[in-house]
Amino acid sequence: MTQNDVAARMGLTQQKLSHLELNAPNVSADRLLRLLSVLGVELVLRRPAAASQTTDGSSAYPW
């Protein structure tokens, strides 16, 4: 699948899709989910395992 194909399926121009790729941190969740759908990719979110402590007792997740 070319960038033109993906852009067309998303309702964008190839230039706009290229711009989004270059500025990925600023892409909206809606656009990202649409892109995943076009590519046939499923996004799965999971909670971390219960054992989320490091060996020194600090949290493995800074948030």
Q: What is the pLDDT of residues 15-31, one digit of tens each?
A: 999 998 998 888 899 99
Query: Taking residues 45-49, what's their average pLDDT?
Result: 87
Mean pLDDT in residue range 18-47 = 91
The strand pairing partners of 59, in sequence order, are: 53
The residue whose two tokens read 């909670």 is 47
Query: What is the pTM for the complete model shown?
Result: 0.60
The span from the CA of 36 to the CA of 23, in Å, is 17
